[in-house]
Amino acid sequence: MATSLELRKPTDPDLAELVDVVRAGIHDPQTMPFTTAWTDAESPELERRVLKYWWRCRSEFTPQQWDLPFVVVSEGTIVGVQSLAASNFPTLRTAETGSWLGLDHQGAGIGKEMRRAIVSFAFECLDALAVTSAAYMDNRASQQVSLATGYEPNGTVFEERRGERAEQIRYILTRQRWSELQTNAEIHIEGMEACRDMFGLANPLG
């Protein structure tokens, strides 16, 4: 079980460290956990894609449409990414989680810990009503992280993956279920007050 994780918005030097994690590998090249197969790119296109993605997320953030990735820091080292994304969040109050870790950091409980952290952020700070996620049929680790966090299966969809039809399991965790499952995880969130309006959340939650 991992000890204590930090999820934070990265500086550009953090992104340089993150790119090294990407270069070292995220998954077996025989498999593809992502619908957009960004990890198939060769260097230096791979590094450029990673940086452009982060800069795009920063520059295109609006209350109606945002993709909010955090770097995951374990014992002072950047080990991966935990993201939360939403469309029309002020109305729908639903956000989708996505994540990856460098191969060297997988299988040690970090995936579950960072998911619990982002889910707490969504419900406690953003007053979300539900969080969703998805995992391909052949991605057992991702499925297990969703189930262990309390998400429930919510049907399947087909996506084009590396030019082929692939089935994905959808997952949902409602606010009601999350509050019933409350664990004793200690999660501290800093800096939210200054940016509530960026999410269309002008007033402090009661």
Interaction site with ligand COA (CB under 6 A): 26-27, 33, 99-101, 106-112, 135, 139-142, 144-145, 148
Angle at 63 between CA 100 and CA 34, to 5 degrees: 20
Is residue 41 a contact partner of residue 118, using CB atoms and an 8 Å limit?
Answer: no
Which one, 110 or 131, has the nearer CB to ligand COA?
A: 110
Q: In angstroms, what is the minimal distance from the CB of 162 to ligand COA?
A: 14
Which one, 27 or 175, has the nearer CB to ligand COA?
A: 27
Task: Enter the DSSP assignment of 124.
Answer: I
**Tokens (6 digits) for 27:** 């998954």
Which one, 112 or 161, has the nearer CB to ligand COA?
A: 112
Virtual CA dihedral for 122, 109, 180, 123, nearest 10 degrees?
0
Q: In angstroms, what is the minimal distance from the CB of 109 to ligand COA?
A: 4
Q: In angstroms, what is the minimal distance from the CB of 107 to ligand COA?
A: 5
Q: Which residue is nearest to ligand COA (CB)?
A: 111
Q: In angstroms, what is the minimal distance from the CB of 164 to ligand COA?
A: 17
Angle at 108 between CA 6 and CA 86, to 5 degrees: 50
How far CA 18 is from CA of 61, 80, 100, 191, in Å, comes to 21, 7, 11, 22
Virtual CA dihedral for 99, 121, 151, 103, nearest 10 degrees?
20
Which one, 38 or 63, has the nearer CB to ligand COA?
A: 38
Instruction: Give the H/E segment covering residue 146.
Output: helix 140-149
DSSP per-residue letters across 62-122: -SSEEEEEEEEEETTEEEEEEEEEEESHHHH-EEEEEEEE-GGGTTSSHHHHHHHHHHHII
Q: In angstroms, what is the minimal distance from the CB of 132 to ligand COA?
A: 12
Which one, 69 or 111, has the nearer CB to ligand COA?
A: 111
Which one, 89 or 136, has the nearer CB to ligand COA?
A: 136
Q: In angstroms, what is the minimal distance from the CB of 34 to ligand COA?
A: 6
